[in-house]
Structure 1
């Protein structure tokens, strides 16, 4: 692995915005060649040890509470290659005027070969109380070459299982019209800059048509729809099937899906339903979903969905994700684990 001091020295020696040919938005990141070299060296070292690294494209935290050393040490212990760990701006920080949290800068300063510089999570209050101010700050971060991609934007979000069990009320029962002003701003920002963004959008019949219209209107926007086949109320969803997702993939070449979902026993408390619909009753993958992954192996991304209230669960989340990866053919395991994220970030194949 590249010596951390040498890597930081290499980054600081590069001109701001140093670039590699044909990388799209990613070419603007300051010190990118050194970052990219460190990322590749880390992935190759894990592969050489006979382990499968993966790139976690969707996790978030409270930057005031996260233990960066704890996360980095667990990444080493678990052979996690890279992590796009975004900062969620809480209500307290938001009231103090925070619109951009520079967690990525701190992560790169400590562990430049592990973390992908990413924007902040678009959850309440960011996207609900002051979306223009928040998005102005994210766009400025892109312009200043501070981030490679955008965080998870919550347009439709039910309370999480943990919040439901805690009786946290409607704090995360979010409904922001995806075809409203904020949605157009996010899709347009991705299309203009080439930066991918993560989309949290619950799967309901009434929500699918507006999303399809936005994907058609912004064909160059790079969208990572989080939580493949995570359906929390099956009675609200009749259209979303492997065949439907297959149709989306064929129509929209810049649409990706991450594979952060619960295990086969995971139950959503508010509906009392097992909501990770990708799992069969025997604990394996439903054949139609497995066939979809096999038919479009380049459109799915590894993700853990670690959050501020569950950073201590890295081991169990890693075990569950690795079980999912092992359910795939060997070549597709590598594609989903790290090759697709590398291609999305750098516009080139991992070599």
Structure 2
């Protein structure tokens, strides 16, 4: 088992990384070749210590409250390779920043070897009150090559366990996937070639709509967040490892991130354990393990940190590493960093 002491020692042993410019000379257009070089150097340095780095494809923060330096230090201590940390704009921030926040540029200006430039998170009020303006801003950022992927879009989202406990209903969101907003999102991905993430609760009556949109937009690159996170089992009779296998075989541009709760995590509204991949506290159900191994190129590491839990990064890291440790070695490397690298750069990591 990799202890926190060993993680810290291995990170302290790393040689200093070479600095690579993240942008062009005059604007926020990314210097892709330079970013790739910096990312690759960091991943290889961690690999050289015998630790598998991973790329966190899905975390977010309040851009006015986050301590970027603290996150970067934690990434070093824990040997986290890269992080796609998006800016979630609250109502007052949303208006002030005219629907796009240059948070990715702020991250890269300080730590270009750690952070993936990602579009803003699509949670209220972005898709619920000003979807057209928000998506215009995100597409503009993509077209001028300021980001490498779009953020997480909350199409159907129940309040999280923490929000339920706080009595917060602001993120009980229902934006139909086949609405004009959903069509614009899928079309935007097809046109730009960038992937986007969706939070889409797993319920039978939503699955046909998802299948229809995936068929209509075959070049859209979709990351469905939270594999097998089912809030209400009685509403998801169709969903299983077999169903996901069928989706993967039908839709070559569909991916899944592996940010799900631990084995004992309970959704307080239903009273059910909502991470359905677990057989026990340290074992995966055989059907889900077989699925991930069979289609190892379609699954991505993720922590799903948010502003209210950034201080728990060590806890989330330990849980994700526990999951990765249960995978065969080749699959572990694919899920941890190789698949995200290929999704971002259309090439294998080497």
Q: What TM-score results when the alignment is normalised by the length of structure 2? A: 0.93
User: Alpha-carbon deviations, 1:18-58, whole Å to 9, x = none?
Assistant: xxxxxxxxxxx521111100000000000001111000000
Runs of 5+ consecutive residues of structure 2 not aligned to the other structure: 1-14
Change (3 A) 1:167 1:11: closer
Partner of 2:191: 192
Partner of 2:159: 159
The alignment of Structure 1 onto Structure 2 pairs a total of residues equal to 336
Q: CA–CA distance in 2 between the matches of 1:139 and 1:281?
A: 43
Q: CA deviation at 1:187?
A: 0.2
Secondary structure of residue in 2 paired with 1:219 = coil
Q: CA–CA distance in 2 between the matches of 1:65 and 1:230?
A: 29
Secondary structure of residue in 1 paired with 2:66 = coil
Q: Say yes or no: does 1:39 pair with 2:39.
A: yes
Q: CA–CA distance in 2 between the matches of 1:71 and 1:101?
A: 19
Secondary structure of residue in 1 paired with 2:176 = coil
Aligned residues of 1:2 and 1:41 also touching (Cα < 8 A)? no
Aligned residues of 2:120 and 2:150 also touching (Cα < 8 A)? yes
Q: CA–CA distance in 2 between the matches of 1:11 and 1:275?
A: 41
Aligned residues of 1:301 and 1:338 also touching (Cα < 8 A)? yes
Q: CA–CA distance in 2 between the matches of 1:315 and 1:269?
A: 24
Change (3 A) 1:304 1:69: same
Partner of 2:9: none
1:67-82 equivalence runs, <5 A: 67-82=67-82
1:295-334 equivalence runs, <5 A: 295-334=294-333
User: Alpha-carbon deviations, 1:78-112, whole Å to 9, x = none?
Assistant: 00000000000101212435300111000000000
Q: What TM-score results when the alignment is normalised by the length of structure 1? A: 0.93
Secondary structure of residue in 1 paired with 2:308 = coil
Q: CA deviation at 1:283?
A: 3.3
Aligned residues of 1:16 and 1:31 also touching (Cα < 8 A)? no
1:202-351 equivalence runs, <5 A: 202-281=201-280, 283-351=282-350
Q: CA–CA distance in 1 between the matches of 2:30 and 2:197?
A: 22
Partner of 1:24: none
Aligned residues of 1:156 and 1:200 also touching (Cα < 8 A)? yes
User: How well do the aligned residues superpose, as a CA RMSD in angstroms?
Assistant: 1.5
Secondary structure of residue in 1 paired with 2:337 = helix
Runs of 5+ consecutive residues of structure 1 not aligned to the other structure: 18-28
Q: CA deviation at 1:12?
A: 4.7
Change (3 A) 1:96 1:11: closer
Match of 1:7 among 15, 20, 23: 20
Q: CA–CA distance in 1 between the matches of 2:205 and 2:24?
A: 49
Q: CA deviation at 1:321?
A: 0.3
Q: CA–CA distance in 1 between the matches of 2:228 and 2:264?
A: 15
Q: CA deviation at 1:203?
A: 0.1
Secondary structure of residue in 2 paired with 1:50 = coil
Q: CA–CA distance in 2 between the matches of 1:207 and 1:279?
A: 24
Q: CA–CA distance in 2 between the matches of 1:129 and 1:67?
A: 29
User: Alpha-carbon deviations, 1:277-303, whole Å to 9, x = none?
Assistant: 000135310000000001100000000
Q: CA–CA distance in 2 between the matches of 1:265 and 1:75?
A: 26
Secondary structure of residue in 1 paired with 2:283 = coil
Secondary structure of residue in 2 paired with 1:294 = helix
Aligned residues of 1:190 and 1:222 also touching (Cα < 8 A)? yes
Q: CA–CA distance in 1 between the matches of 2:234 and 2:126?
A: 30
Q: CA–CA distance in 2 between the matches of 1:96 and 1:84?
A: 23
Q: CA–CA distance in 1 between the matches of 2:16 and 2:203?
A: 46
Aligned residues of 2:254 and 2:298 also touching (Cα < 8 A)? yes
Secondary structure of residue in 1 paired with 2:181 = helix
